[in-house]
Structure 1
Amino acid sequence: MENQMHHLNENMSQNNLPIRILRMTELTVMLGISRSSIYEKLNPRSKYYDENFPKPIKLGASSVGWQYASVEKWLTSRMV
């Protein structure tokens, strides 16, 4: 967790912009896919697994989020 925080702080200082974190509800709306589809993309044993799909960031004991910039980059890569 400490390493992730260092990484987030490092990104913020490089861009001078705060890191935007998307929670699951925002992510499903942004991508237009269901919660279960997101988890399928993250599951290496699923036939829908996408190794390039952004990995969630642990925010607390039972909460996760996704870095907006990573999701946006993934979306852009799919528009080719």
Structure 2
Amino acid sequence: MEMFKVETFEMNQLIDIKKVIELTALSRSTIYAMMDEYSPYYDPTFPKKVKVTQSRIAWSAYEIHQWIESKLAERE
């Protein structure tokens, strides 16, 4: 049986794309497609990126967690 590691996040913690991929089980290209309003995969509920520096972006760990929770709540 596979064990899952439970992680907690601080309200204002920023995470990089690698962590978003790990938490959501989505590919990098799917994540970017979900953020692109012209993509058929666009999801307006997916958390917006945060520009940390001119060449670095991140996401709010709390918002990613909330998005995952909303997807779990949509299950039938």
How would you bin the TM-score normalised by the shorter chain?
Answer: 0.7 to 0.9
Identify the structure with the greater strand proportion.
Answer: 2
Identity %: 27
Q: Which runs of 5 or more structure 1 residues have no equivalent in the other structure?
A: 1-16
1:57 is aligned with what amino acid?
Answer: V
Q: Determine if the alignment matches structure 1 residue 67 to structure 2 residue 73.
A: no
CA RMSD of aligned residues (A): 1.1
1:41 is aligned with what amino acid?
Answer: M
Identify the structure with the greater helix proportion.
Answer: 1
- List 4+ stretches of structure 1 deviating above 6 A: none
Q: Which runs of 5 or more structure 2 residues have no equivalent in the other structure?
A: 1-9
TM-score, normalised to structure 2, is: 0.80
Paired residues, what number?
64
Between the aligned partners of 1:44 and 1:18, the Cα distance in structure 2 is 27
TM-score, normalised to structure 1, is: 0.76
Name the counterpart of 2:49. Answer: 56
